[in-house]
Copies of this chain bind each other. A is one copy, B any other.
């Protein structure tokens, strides 16, 4: 991005294979994982994106080369002996539901993220959806990043709730979906859920609702970012991580103090990147974009949202 502040942005998360079955066919070995989607989106906003993750010895060199072609620092991707994390899922014909058919953790089971000196100095940090204790360990290694955001999921609420609460007490920003917000808070109303979750720690809460958009709850006010109505979405896998990548990437690029207004705009850039992602499989929708295409889509969101006030 022009005039980008170009801050450094570290993502810790999975680099994985997705096996996707759905109305468009069966795709057995797609590049996936939270850190992959996140970094592919974020790298359009700053050229100082780094991944910390782990892959097995079955992980193709061309995926690493793709990250490197995007100026994403892959020095933090550990190559371990074993298999790369695999998620297998099946989507309903209308893409509105998905079932997890299989999860093979592989080398991810023993993942112990270690930050080297340059990664410790990251200015922005995104904690992808991993065990909350690992998220805390990453936080403890980092040297006071400007912005820390985290994701989590229902699974950790079921089996590591205490550790999750420790993590929540230490992060500024939480980016989760509506089901997760409801489970975490025990409230159906997202307004009530947001109040409870923000009292657990995160001053900035983003609740993603898929094709119903995303909501920001923040002391500066609530904000709603619509999802772009699409002719033919194909694969929602990774939409949430692409949203987070656009969101954090924009903040990394933002010239000036990261305030409420910057966070609102970041919500739209998150939605922009998610809208590109779901149009194609794997992270193909994030390949080959440029500043003009991103700006044009941003303008579509602007057009979608604007109204006269008289």
Binding site for B on A (CB under 8 A): 93-96, 188-192, 194, 209, 212-213, 215, 221-226, 229-233, 261, 264-265, 267-268, 298, 302-310
Contact = CB atoms under 8 A, between A and B. Distances in A.
Stoichiometry, as copies per complex, reads 2
A191 B275 CA distance: 14
B224 A308 contact: no
Contact of A303 (B221, B230, B268): B221
Contacts of A303: 221-222
A221 B215 CA distance: 23
A310 B295 CA distance: 10
A226 B232 CA distance: 22
25 contacts: A93-B188, A96-B188, A189-B231, A189-B233, A191-B229, A191-B230, A194-B229, A213-B213, A213-B224, A223-B305, A223-B306, A224-B226, A224-B229, A224-B304, A224-B305, A225-B307, A226-B226, A261-B308, A264-B306, A264-B307, A265-B307, A298-B309, A302-B307, A302-B309, A305-B305
A180 B264 CA distance: 33
Given A209-B212, A265-B309, A305-B305, 5 more contacts: A191-B229, A212-B212, A221-B303, A223-B304, A224-B304
Question: Could you say which of A192, A212, A308 has the most chain B C-beta atoms within 10 Å of its C-beta?
Answer: A212
A304 B217 CA distance: 10
A197 to B, nearest CB: 14
Contacts of A194: 229
A234 to B, nearest CB: 11
Nearest to A304: B224
A88 B83 CA distance: 57
B189 A268 contact: no
Contact of A212 (B213, B232, B264, B306): B213
A231 B191 contact: yes
A231 B192 contact: yes
Given A223-B307, A261-B308, A303-B221, A215 B191 contact: no
A266 to B, nearest CB: 9
A151 to B, nearest CB: 21
Given A303-B221, A307-B268, A308-B265, A188 B229 contact: no
Contacts of A94: 188
A29 B93 CA distance: 41
A190 B228 CA distance: 11
A111 B226 CA distance: 41
Contacts of A305: 223-224, 305-307
Contacts of A233: 189
A175 to B, nearest CB: 17
A188 B112 CA distance: 43
Contacts of A302: 307, 309
A253 to B, nearest CB: 11
A308 to B, nearest CB: 5
